[in-house]
Structure 1
């Protein structure tokens, strides 16, 4: 018997999802055989078809949850999307700690081959960095990095590269104000990240985000071979050094000085309990919540069961599903903090005359996602089923073990930048439309949600969760594949983005406040 072209994700659902391109006349039959629905038109991969009459104003269900209401009468077999489905006023019934499910402990502990830093932290990569305090020093930082070509770095085989952490801010905000503190926390998080073996701080000199403030607030120092504080230059300001040319010359000399010490590392077995996984989805489609995201949830639960940390982010893509996460909160305080961040986003969007349903994006909608509620219900499945143990603000250090949430925007570079600043030493990124995201100094594993995008973008996709739609593998089997790939990449296996050298331009600190 051939597989059905449609999937019903929950027995209560009033729509089904096309698992492939379903031509007009394609038939869906309910599992009990009592209901048969014929598509009245072509239904694209990831898009929805109604399976019951939905009069105007009816609440539609997908994943067993409301995703919007019908704006016109919809008949069985009709394509359901933006032309006949819209947002709704959603009442969320918040409960706290009523759905706590601890992942079973593994029979055998697992390890990965990582770098053990002098302070005890675990690294998956070993980079040397230039931390720019302000956009005005970005060009100088790039000139310094350009001097470190493959021939020079060949002398230091344990160093993955030299990167410039450049951004578009650093000035025109209130000194010690919220934006200044957030930027400093992000830059400090990267400078102190275990995947950064050595760094210098590079500024212009007159910016609000002073290098001295950053160094003092986050105790930033350069370490010598023994892991002790060094007297080597740490802060370089272009104005003090006499301009760009002199700064570049001195910056090159300073980094060359740091390379021998940074190279003095060797991979060794480290428990995977020391992995901090940052999860993200970008270029999502209607199959994201069916394949790659729930499979990543399986991998997330496996890591948590081994004592590791898995972080969900993109708060605007939790919106509408947060009531399901508060049920998993280990305390009312943790659940309330998530609700507080959701309320902050509602107020933040309203200040600019916007609403959170501006997300899904154009590409998301082409891929079958219609409302933010629908997108969020699929996105939160990346978090598996483990208890929610902490909620962090943007780029805060993630110190709690287990499943946690970091408050970030849905914009991928800004979201992952916050996760890495908070300590994530590996990233898994699901995509249905085809993201090309890379993330130096942390490896980013790309998982496609469907086979067509995997085949079309084979040089960018690390794993294919589309095999679930194809009927070849289960969600659990793909989840285990993701888990094993995570350990392999943490141990040094190059991701597709790393093989292409992607990740230098994705550093993007989030700045939510006004620019003066």
Structure 2
């Protein structure tokens, strides 16, 4: 294995697969500095203000002249506006679907509404932060009682609490986002029963929420407020009793063979590094292509982390309005960040930079590879129900818990999460498969990582790694537990996106 790689003939940098020592000869160029693994070295002289090119795309501009062999990073690279050719729909193609008779199955939970789950949870949701503790008390009481031992088809009782629900307007974007997110999670196919707990006097009123979705209470959908029931202790007792009554009903559903086309895969990356865009992300993209060929769905998200690569997605937009909506969301984010005295290049994080990522453009070009190569079929707002198959995009922040919460609310029943630095993450009620971008972090955090995509750097093809990921998706969807599930992650990662002033 070479200690470096040049990803495109157009690139004027090389990527250090392993550390390059000062004085090492790389493509007839002597390294001027030590180049840390995952970082970039100039493969030729680069004049001031000239583009830095990686993946055959501009990832930034030289602050000053960069000599061949120099370390290329934030000390000599910056980001500025430049024209991109969005060319909507000019690179679409006909998807080659697998014949229906040859499509694969997984063992899932078929719900009455036709959706299929990969897990079977009872969720204790909250209308407001004021009822968060009570929700946790209820879930913990059930867990400690040992009641779940009698219901093997129930994966658990989870308290999904949040920090808002009051101090917000009763109309407008903040309210609508919370309302949509709560309903999306409550109706996610991985949830078999719901208990919604409120305080009683909050802005986010449970009856109004139910009315907006034309839903009423049922044996597997119950609500209560602390003030109406009569305090903390009584509400915990009532909540525990409600869940005990739900358990046999939720347990009665069993796994059955279901087509892989019923999988809705959330795509996430966090703690990315210089390897993510050449190993884990493209390998996940190859798995997405296999899923789409089976008739399944994948949700690419994190709008600030496709910034600078959006033109590659608009090329694949199946309809003009799809590409136009993605561009509109990019413009919204530019205005949103400017309004709050931030900039889109605030990302990458310090950890990303230590891992070799210099600019948001570089990070985004690698992150967008998670979406594979098929057509972009639709763009959804945060937490909107995903009702298109194939590759779709959902507008979310880049912050992983918030982004994943929106995807789960949109209907994602399984999730793949790539990481180079080693993110610790889970996402109940949706299982999260962790993909390491390099062998070092896979070995270093082997109890957290499910698949080592660092093998791509060691000679395994992206296609072969994608097939391994695809098969793992089917196994996990059928009930195999991920590392994050075994560790117990996922109870604290429910984080709805909050907009506007807190009053």
Consecutive unaligned residues of structure 1, counting only runs of 5 or more, are: 30-35, 223-228
User: How far apart are 1:214 and its partner, in Å?
Assistant: 1.6
SS of residue matched to 1:67: strand
Task: Quote the residue 1:215 is aligned against.
Answer: 210
SS in 2 for 1:295: helix
Q: 2:270 aligns with which of 258, 282, 291?
A: 282
Q: Please state how far the C-alpha of 1:86 moved relative to its aligned partner.
A: 0.8
Distance (whole Å) between structure 1 residues aligned to residue 122 and residue 296 of structure 2: 26
Call closer, same or farther: CA 1:27–1:193 in 2, change over 3 Å. same
Q: Which residues in structure 2 correspond to 1:320-469 (within 5 Å)?
A: 320-469=308-457
Return the match for 1:39 from 26, 31, 36.
Answer: 31
Q: 1:509 is matched with which residue?
A: 496
Q: TM-score, normalised by structure 1?
A: 0.95
Helix, strand or coil for the counterpart of 1:323? Answer: helix
What is the deviation of 1:27? Answer: 2.9
User: Secondary structure at the residue paired with 1:255?
Assistant: helix
Pairing partner for 1:139 from 116, 124, 133: 133
Q: Deviations over 1:380-422 (max 9, x none)?
A: 0000111011000000000001110000000000000000000
Is 1:13 aligned with 2:11? Answer: yes
Determine the structure 1 residue equivalent to 2:224: 236
- The alpha-carbon distance between structure 1 residues 233 and 106, as it changes in their structure 2 partners (threshold 3 A), is closer
Does the aligned pair in 2 maintain the 1:53–1:74 contact within 8 Å? yes
- Does the CA contact (< 8 Å) of 2:196 and 2:224 recur in 1? yes
Q: Alpha-carbon deviations, 1:329-363, whole Å to 9, x = none? A: 01111100000100000010011111111010010
Worse overlay, 37-46 or 353-362: 37-46
Q: CA deviation at 1:56?
A: 1.3
Match of 1:60 in 2: 52
Against the structure 1 CA distance between its residues 446 and 102, is the aligned structure 2 distance closer, same or farther, given a 3 Å change threshold? Answer: farther
Cα distance in 1 for residues equivalent to 2:491 and 2:92: 40
Contact 1:191 1:220 in 2 (8 A): no
SS in 1 for 2:142: coil
Aligned to 1:476: 463
Matched residue count: 500
Moved more, 101-110 or 354-363: 101-110
Report the counterpart of residue 166 of structure 2 in structure 1: 171
Give 1:270 shift. 0.4
For 1:66-118, what per-residue CA distance to the aligned partner results, in whole angstroms no more than 9, with x for missing partners? Answer: 01111121111110000001112221111111001234222521111111112
Q: Is 1:48 the counterpart of 2:40 in the alignment?
A: yes
CA distance in 1, matches of 2:216, 2:208: 13
Superposed displacement of residue 233, structure 1 = 7.2
- For residues 300 and 147 of structure 1, what CA distance do their matches in structure 2 show? 40
Alignment of 1:115-154 (within 5 A): 115-149=109-143, 151-154=146-149
Counterparts of 1:148 and 1:44, CA distance in 2: 50
1:90–1:320: 8 Å Cα contact kept in structure 2? no
- Would the aligned equivalents of 2:439 and 2:453 in 1 still touch at CA under 8 Å? yes
Q: Distance in 2 between matches of 1:273 and 1:219?
A: 28
Q: TM-score, normalised by structure 2?
A: 0.98
> Alpha-carbon deviation of 1:21?
2.2
Q: Does 1:485 align with 2:472?
A: yes
Root-mean-square deviation over aligned CA pairs = 1.2
**1:225 equivalent in structure 2:** none
SS in 1 for 2:224: strand
CA distance in 2, matches of 1:426, 1:90: 37
Q: Secondary structure at the match of 1:390?
A: strand
Q: Give SS of 1:345's match.
A: helix
SS at match of 1:200: strand
